[in-house]
Amino acid sequence: MNNFEFYAPTRIVFGKDSECQVGSLLKEHGATKVLLHFGGQSAEKSGLLGRVRQSLKDSNVDFVELGGVVPNPRLSLAHKGIELCKAEGVDFILSVGGGSVIDSSKAIGWGLCYDGDVWDIYTGVGTCHTCVPQACILTLAAAGSEMSNGSVITKEEGMLKRSYSDDSCRLKFSILNPELTYTLPEYQTSCGIVDIIMHTMERYFTTDEPMMMTDAISEGIIRNVMANGAILMKDPTNYNARGEIMWSGSLSHNDLTGLGVGSDWSTHEMEHELSGLFDVAHGAGLAAIWGSWARFVYDAKPERFETFAKNVFGLTGDNLVIRGIEAMEAFFHSVNMPISIPELLGRPVTEAELDELARKCAYGGRSIGGFKSLPESSMRAIYAMANK
């Protein structure tokens, strides 16, 4: 059991109609001028943005708006947001949307406090430990950004996708109304399901001595997301199933699932290059490479994969490692997610693209992975395995 700190300061306001409290919550948190930040169309179309504007007006909270965040959120919009906030004297940022909107808001919040181009902190040139206070109304259970200390941004030039983590960006409050996720296309629901499972598995697969409490939480989250994900495939407006998945999403990525143990993150690192280069959905990209990663690394500690097969899937008997991996891939398929790059993109990538993915992922000559350390040659081998 490793030493740990647990810091999850975000206030969660969960349940039906909870978004109607947003104006009074902002007031309570001292917001005087808010940036209302959102994505493409979904929040406008569903009427959510209208309700949010009304709540802000009712609470006499002044605000400016910036929409247009796209999946794999772009640096250029964050730059625009920083300039807008400076011009308008914004002192609080409210995201309405999924992980991309929240991550864009975090970039804006850091950019307002950082003396230089905010991209520097995503590339390791600089650091930033202060951020403009933030909150969100979550519309997609997936990235866990509503409780995490991270943000992932893509720079259009070269389609470079990079992340930065610092506790300063943790949201003051996150409003979680499962009903707001009813309008999601099935594909996005499934991508979210995979991402939540992956945030848990990235921490579960460690060669460290397991901590029973952390294992119980992690195995419970994975089983819960699979069970409720199956319900949503048939009944997408099932409130309890939406709620179970939404709360699992926050718990999977607020650090709870990694307490006292190490973590891996290779699948995430390798996926960020896929979604950076091909602009695919993060969750689908994760599903496309996880099985190949697992087959490549399991020999570092096969007993961990056996425990996974037993405790998550209830498997017994021989060949548990491979059967556990296959069981997770079968679940991904059951929610219509790809388990290979050709299934993800509709074609295999070329040899040159394999080289590029591995080269970009190994930037600065780094290796990735906690379960098994992966240099560039191993990354390329895993991409190649996933390309069949």
- Contact residues: ligand NZQ, CB under 6 A: 39-43, 71-72, 97-101, 103, 139-140, 142-145, 148, 150-152, 180-181, 183-184, 188, 191-192, 195, 253, 268, 282-283
Nearer to Zn ion, 320 or 357 (CB): 357
CB of 315 to ligand NZQ, least distance (A): 27
**Bridge-partner residues for 21, per DSSP?**
none
Report the distance separating Cα 339 and Cα 388, nearest Å: 10
Nearer to ligand NZQ, 321 or 382 (CB): 382
CB count within 10 Å of CB 275 equals 22
* Token pair recorded at residue 388: 């069949």
Long-range residue pairs from 124-127, CB within 8 A, at least 24 positions apart, any chain: 124/364, 127/166
Nearer to Zn ion, 19 or 195 (CB): 195
In our burial notation (b when 16+ CB lie closer than 10 A, e otherwise), range 323-338 reads bbbbbbbebbeebebb
Residue 249 binds which entry of Zn ion, ligand NZQ, none, CB below 5-8 Å type-dependent: none
Contact letters for Zn ion, residues 147-186 (x by CB under 5 A): ----------------------------------------
Q: Which of residues 181-210 bind Zn ion (CB under 5 A)?
A: 195
Nearer to ligand NZQ, 35 or 140 (CB): 140
CB of 52 to ligand NZQ, least distance (A): 13
Nearer to ligand NZQ, 19 or 219 (CB): 19
CB of 48 to ligand NZQ, least distance (A): 8
CB of 361 to Zn ion, least distance (A): 15
Strand 160-165 vs strand 150-155: parallel, antiparallel, or unpaired? antiparallel
Contact letters for Zn ion, residues 62-81 (x by CB under 5 A): --------------------
Phi-psi region of 71 (alpha: psi -120 to 50; beta: other; left: phi over 0): beta
The answer to whether 344 and 289 are in contact (CB under 8 A) is no
Q: Which residue has tokens 């504007």?
A: 53
Integer CA distances (angstroms), 177 to 14, 130, 382, in order? 6, 29, 38
Report the distance separating Cα 290 and Cα 283, nearest Å: 11
Nearer to Zn ion, 103 or 219 (CB): 103
Strand 62-66 vs strand 160-165: parallel, antiparallel, or unpaired? unpaired
Nearer to ligand NZQ, 152 or 320 (CB): 152
CB of 52 to Zn ion, least distance (A): 26
DSSP string, 100-112: HHHHHHHHHHHHT
CB of 69 to ligand NZQ, least distance (A): 6
Q: How many residues lie near Zn ion (CB under 5 A)?
A: 1
Residue 90 binds which entry of ligand NZQ, Zn ion, none, CB below 5-8 Å type-dependent: none
Contact residues: Zn ion, CB under 5 A: 195
